[in-house]
């Protein structure tokens, strides 16, 4: 797994902050990362959840991670080089300030923060502290995504003419019954910032920036929640290409997200871990393997391997003193587009990106 040359010695000492839904995926990524990283401990508001998480480590794991009693104990642990933060977005700033100030690097689960303004504060804070801030946008590390990126950068596709993106996911009401989930105060929003953000990041990585948005956002009859569970938007990209974007968590039973990019010489379609390239001359190519991405009732129905690739890249970047593949500043592009879609939908007008 990971990018060639990322293997490092000694392994990077990491600590986990948060023991919620995605923590077991990170634990599996760490356990399979071999000598790239070593888990030193876990911090959670509930110590019993941290203990239960650590019980998932292999019996032969070559370290004895601890459960930290508080953030101060974690920061004082000199064996910790980097911290993986997986908490809800509303407590990010309280954590990132002290951690960055201690000189420990940060790998952050999406989103960077609840709002565009908060996200920019987080990035600036980490840059000022001189630490690496990496973001877990693991879909970039899928084989199909990397193949699409290579094709786009090679320039043989011609100009981008149109974009179609869809995230037709499903979440049962029980998902939103967790206190704070789907609220602006805790999560920063609904389907956009919690689910579609991965596809938005991947789209922008391949297309470049958007300059104008016209959107509709709504909460369907299927959920009792504060924020949106349905979004449709028209996009105008910086190169002039038009685009359509839809995202929801009310598309029962849920299916894989897709990105279709129509170029002058070929059309690319990313869906369920597979890239299909239809060339105008009749040739068809495929890359990647079919895989689940958590679009149905089970939001954790995906492999840990993509997280492992992110982690191995991040650990190698820290050791070499170079930026990770996905930096906090790069991740601001997705936050800004989410902000634009939200503002356009709420105000009922075209939103100009600046």
User: Does residue 148 share a domain with residue 73?
Assistant: no
| Residue 85 bridge partners (DSSP) | 17, 108
What pLDDT shows up at residue 294? Answer: 64
Instruction: CATH number of the domain at 132, please.
Output: 3.40.50.720
Q: Which of 122, 73, 123, 124 is nearest to 102 (CA)?
A: 73
What pLDDT shows up at residue 293? Answer: 67
User: Has residue 159 been placed in a domain?
Assistant: yes
What pLDDT shows up at residue 299? Answer: 61
User: Does residue 78 share a domain with residue 40?
Assistant: yes
User: Has residue 184 been placed in a domain?
Assistant: yes
Strand locations in 158-288 (E): 160-168, 210-218, 230-237, 242-248, 258-263, 266-271, 274-279, 284-288
HEC readout, 89-111: HHHHHHHHHHHHHCCCEEEEECC
Q: What is the DSSP string of 260-271?
A: EEEESSEEEEEE
What pLDDT shows up at residue 3? Answer: 41
Which pair of tokens denotes residue 318? Answer: 């820290």
The helix or strand, by DSSP H or E, that contains position 45, with its residue range, turns out to be: none
| 239 vs 20: CA distance, rounded Å | 40
User: Does residue 223 share a domain with residue 110?
Assistant: no
User: Does residue 215 share a domain with residue 157?
Assistant: yes
| 223 vs 176: CA distance, rounded Å | 8
Q: Which of 299, 298, 170, 294 is nearest to 223 (CA)?
A: 170
User: Does residue 173 share a domain with residue 50?
Assistant: no
Omega of the bond leading into 69 within 30 degrees of 0 (cis): no
Phi, psi of 15 (to 5 degrees): -125, 145
* pTM, 2 dp: 0.93
User: Has residue 3 been placed in a domain?
Assistant: no
| 307 vs 113: CA distance, rounded Å | 19
What range defines the domain where residue 79 resides? 12-139+306-327
User: Does residue 293 share a domain with residue 152?
Assistant: yes
User: Does residue 74 share a domain with residue 30?
Assistant: yes
User: Has residue 174 been placed in a domain?
Assistant: yes
Instruction: CATH number of the domain at 252, please.
Output: 3.30.360.10
Number of domain units in the chain: 2
User: Has residue 1 been placed in a domain?
Assistant: no
User: Does residue 80 share a domain with residue 154?
Assistant: no
User: Has residue 5 been placed in a domain?
Assistant: no
User: Does residue 76 share a domain with residue 148?
Assistant: no
User: Does residue 58 share a domain with residue 87?
Assistant: yes
User: Does residue 82 share a domain with residue 31?
Assistant: yes
Angle in degrees, 0-180, between the axes of helices 197-207 and 328-347, rounded to the nearest 10: 110
Phi, psi of 279 (to 5 degrees): -80, 150
In whole angstroms, how far apart are CA 59 and each of 31, 294, 301? Answer: 11, 28, 24
User: Has residue 259 been placed in a domain?
Assistant: yes
What pLDDT shows up at residue 35? Answer: 83
| 259 vs 283: CA distance, rounded Å | 20
User: Has residue 6 been placed in a domain?
Assistant: no
Q: What is the residue-level pLDDT of the chain in tens, covering all 354 positions?
A: 344 444 446 899 999 999 988 999 999 999 998 789 999 999 999 999 999 999 999 888 988 999 999 999 999 999 999 999 999 999 999 999 999 999 999 999 999 999 999 999 999 999 999 999 999 999 999 999 999 999 999 999 999 999 999 999 999 999 999 999 999 999 999 999 999 999 999 999 999 999 999 999 999 999 999 999 999 999 999 999 999 999 999 999 999 999 999 999 999 999 999 999 999 999 999 999 887 666 665 665 568 899 999 999 999 999 999 999 999 999 999 999 999 999 999 999 999 997
User: Does residue 312 share a domain with residue 250?
Assistant: no
């Amino acid at each position: 797994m990971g990018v060639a040359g990322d293997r490092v010695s000694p392994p990077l000492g990491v600590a986990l902050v948060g023991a919620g839904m995605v923590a077991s995926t990170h634990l599996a990524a760490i356990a399979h990362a071999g000598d790239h990283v070593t888990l030193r401990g876990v911090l959670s508001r509930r110590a019993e959840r941290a203990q239960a998480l650590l019980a998932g480590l292999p019996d032969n794991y070559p370290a004895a991670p601890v459960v930290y009693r508080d953030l101060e104990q974690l920061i004082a642990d000199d064996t910790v080089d980097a911290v993986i933060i997986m908490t809800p977005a509303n407590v990010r700033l309280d954590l990132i300030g002290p951690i960055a100030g201690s000189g420990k690097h940060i790998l952050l689960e999406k989103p960077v923060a609840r709002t565009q303004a908060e996200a920019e504060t987080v990035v600036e804070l980490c840059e000022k502290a001189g630490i690496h801030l990496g973001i877990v946008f693991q879909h970039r590390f899928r084989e199909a995504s990397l193949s699409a990126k290579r094709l786009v950068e090679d320039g043989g596709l011609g100009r981008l003419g149109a974009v179609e993106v869809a995230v037709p996911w499903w979440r049962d009401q029980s998902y939103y019954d967790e206190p704070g989930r789907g609220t602006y105060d805790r999560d920063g929003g609904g389907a956009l910032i919690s689910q579609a953000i991965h596809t938005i990041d991947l789209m922008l990585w391949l297309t470049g920036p958007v300059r104008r948005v016209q959107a509709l956002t709504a909460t369907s009859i299927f959920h009792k929640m504060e924020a949106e569970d349905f979004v449709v938007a028209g996009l105008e990209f910086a190169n002039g290409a038009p685009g359509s974007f839809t995202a929801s968590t009310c598309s029962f039973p849920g299916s894989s997200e897709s990105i279709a990019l129509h170029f002058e010489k070929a059309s690319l379609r990313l869906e369920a871990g597979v890239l299909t390239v239809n060339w105008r001359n009749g040739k068809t190519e495929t890359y990647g393997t079919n895989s689940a991405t958590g679009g149905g009732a089970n939001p954790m129905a995906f492999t840990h391997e993509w997280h492992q690739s992110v982690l191995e890249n991040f650990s190698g970047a820290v050791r070499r003193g170079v930026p990770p593949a996905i930096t906090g500043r790069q991740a601001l592009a997705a936050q800004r587009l989410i902000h634009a879609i939200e503002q356009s939908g709420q105000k009922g007008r075209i939103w100009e990106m600046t």
